[in-house]
Structure 1
Amino acid sequence: MSESIKLSILTPERKVFNGEVKELTTENDLGRFEILPGHEYMVTTLTPTVTFFTTVDNKRLRLFTSTGMLKVNNNEVDFLCETAEWPEEIDLARAEEARKKAEHLLVGKEGAEYRKAELKLRRALARIKVKE
């Protein structure tokens, strides 16, 4: 069995990462999950979160990832998301302001409006966590 997986993280604007990793941890609507070498075929949607992965040279990296799709097949992971940001790319003051606005938007909302505001809050909170 292979000791690594090929990871490709793409947004519409750029290739964020392309290389071999030992593991990947991210999140979907059901919660956090981990991808290791030899993982079964899988396709899932993604939610805004802090995504972690360890490169084959043991560097532990983290970045903010937004909504998107992830496909695992034959030790290759295609990670497609709307936005991905490394810690140094995140403006903490802007993320804090977005958190406050999203919390305010949640009040009194229902259905699709609530879900939209909740996603804004999750994005803001994940960006803040990446900066910690």
Structure 2
Amino acid sequence: MATTYQLKIVTPERTLFEGPVTYIIVRSTEGEIGILAHHMQLITPLVPHIITVYPENGKTEQFTIGGGFLEVGDTTTVVLADSAERASEIDVARAQKARERALETIGKAEPNIDLIRAKRALARAENRLKLAGHPTALTH
């Protein structure tokens, strides 16, 4: 029985990862999920988080995603992400500014502010900073 399966992490712009893996850890709206080979079929929404991938070669990889969907099939699993980056691709200054804007928006608490959107923006920025190894204090 196979212990690996094909994983594909895609965004609207590109395929970020494609290859055989033994395990991944993702965060859905219901909590954290680990996917091994032969997992039951599943489609679930994902929240902004850092996805951990255990490729067949043993070199763990991490990516930050801005939300999206996970589809687990018989032999292939697809992460369809709104956005996704490797640590080496993260612009720390841009992520810091995005975090500051989100915190400012949340702090205003005005009736016309989309608080859910601001909190998602904050989570995306903080995950990017965390994956990049930046020492910014996280609020979540």
Alignment of 1:1-132 (within 5 A): 1-107=1-107, 108-109=109-110, 113-132=114-133
TM-fit CA distance, 1:75: 2.9
| Root mean square deviation of aligned Cα | 1.5
DSSP 3-state at the match of 1:66:
strand
Return 5+ residue gaps in structure 1 as ranges.
Answer: none
Relative distance call for 1:83 and 1:39 in structure 2 (3 A) is same
| TM-score, scaled relative to structure 1 | 0.94
TM-fit CA distance, 1:13: 0.7
For residues 20-44 of structure 1, the C-alpha deviation after alignment (integer angstroms, 9 at most, x for no partner) is 0011111112222111111101000
| Alpha-carbon separation, structure 2, partners of 1:111 and 1:20 | 46
Q: Is the 8 A contact 2:105 2:113 kept in 1?
A: no
For residues 61-88 of structure 1, the C-alpha deviation after alignment (integer angstroms, 9 at most, x for no partner) is 0011112111001131011111110101
Higher alpha-carbon deviation: 111-120 or 18-27: 111-120
Return 5+ residue gaps in structure 2 as ranges.
Answer: 134-140
4+ residue runs over 2 A deviation: 109-112
Q: Is the 8 A contact 1:7 1:19 kept in 2?
A: yes
